[in-house]
Amino acid sequence: MKDEADAYDGDRLLAVLAALANPHRLRVIAALAAGGRNYVSQLAREIGISRPLLHLHLQKLEEAGLVASRLELSSDGRALNYFEVRDFAFALTPAAIAAAAQSLTTKPEP
């Protein structure tokens, strides 16, 4: 069986680290982990940022595979976009970074 850390190639590792390198995104992950899935308006109120800004951060987190979204209809017919944290774990060790570096598709800067 493949270790979870093996699933992170170089490009995916960069995307995850870039997504987590922002205090708002860390707060989003923390809020969703603590409170479970939530819709955008409520989550924006809890974190204290605007919905458009939250959407940008959620998009980055979703692109990195750290959160997932699902559009649902409320009882009054409104469309609510719910987000939840996806399970993730990886060991950030020198060996894991060396292995991930071997699969990078981006070219090093000269």
Band of residue 108 on the pLDDT scale cut at 50, 70, 90 = low
Mean pLDDT of 24-45: 95
Amino acid 90: pLDDT? 82
CA distance 44 to 42: 5
CA distance 42 to 65: 22
Task: Please report, in angstroms and rounded to a whole number, the separation of the first and last CA atoms in the chain.
Answer: 38
**Per-residue pLDDT tens for 41-99?**
999 999 999 999 999 999 999 999 999 999 988 888 888 899 999 999 888 899 989 99
Amino acid 109: pLDDT? 61
Q: What is the CATH number of domain 8-101?
A: 1.10.10.10
**Would you tell me how many other CB atoms lie within 10 Å of the CB of residue 9?**
16
Nearest to 20 by CA among 107, 104, 88, 81: 88
Domain extents in the chain: 8-101
Helix (H) or strand (E) holding 80: strand 79-85
Burial of 66 (0-12, 13-18, 19+ CB in 10 A): buried
Backbone torsions φ then ψ of 57, nearest 5 degrees: -70, -40
| pLDDT reading at 1 higher than 50 | no
| pLDDT reading at 4 higher than 60 | no
